Amino acid sequence: MISAALLWSVTVFAQENSSHLTQRELKKIRRNEVLRNQQNNQYEHEFDVGGRLNTNGWSAYLDYERLTSDVTHTLFQFEFGEIKDPKENKQARQQGVDIFGYPYTGHSFVYGKQNIFYQAKLGIGQRRIVGGKGNKSGVEVSAIYLGGISLGLVKPYYLELYDSTAQGASYQKYTNENANTFLNPNNIVAGPGFGKGWSEVKIVPGLYARAGMRFDWAEFDQVVSAVEVGVDGAVYTQKINIMVNNPGKRFYYGAYVSLLFGKRW
């Protein structure tokens, strides 16, 4: 009787343990199957938003991609940014003291700056996958190359200047006639703020090209989280002056690193 009871207990325990292991194995199989389906899924579209730091400025951009083969995506991109001169040095002048005794300054300015140079770019190219993810914690590596139209937006740079002949301060842009006043540091009261000069923007057309490598570490294929590094350059139909004492250039180039986020579907 006792032996039968012990045998029954062992049998029940073995069955329960076997059932428990089977459930765990089934769960693992189902999970691996889901991951395999996600990895093998071919998403036909992708939309990304990114920010880029260049060796000569900054930019923000929008990407749209369309799948054209197992490893190739056609890429459409719009980008807007600013090119800066390496000799730019932003500073500010004290305007006075507030009621609590703390000094305050006016708008910051860059001494010797003649124009603010923005770029609006519209391009087309490809993103080619050169190293796929080995698993969901891996990194997908892609090569990117594109080019297109670049519109240079040249906005005159204004300074608030004290003019002894006018007995007061006024906003002025650089001209040959006011060069001595504009370039005298003692005359500078403050910088222009963002809104000054937009009605005088000059458009200079050009072409640009970009090549880089992208590293996508997103855990799920539907989500895009990536870093991109590379080089780019743009050439314009005429020279663009940023600083008064530096010669203008038609060709601008540099290296960049960007961070982007998006979604595939």
- Is 90 exceeded by the pLDDT of residue 221? no
Encode pLDDT of 99-140 as tens digits. Answer: 666 766 778 899 999 999 999 999 999 999 998 765 556 789
Query: What pLDDT does 105 receive?
Result: 72
- Is 60 exceeded by the pLDDT of residue 31? no
Query: What pLDDT does 13 receive?
Result: 46
- Is 90 exceeded by the pLDDT of residue 29? no
- Is residue 95 classed as helix, strand or coil in its secondary structure? strand
pLDDT, the chain, mean: 85
CA torsion, ordered 174, 180, 182, 187, to nearest 10 deg? -160
N-term to C-term CA, the chain:
66
CA distance 260 to 264: 13
Query: What pLDDT does 249 receive?
Result: 95
pTM of model > 0.85:
no
Compute φ and ψ for 51, nearest 5 degrees: -125, 140
- Is 70 exceeded by the pLDDT of residue 17? no
Mean pLDDT, to the nearest integer, of 77-104?
82
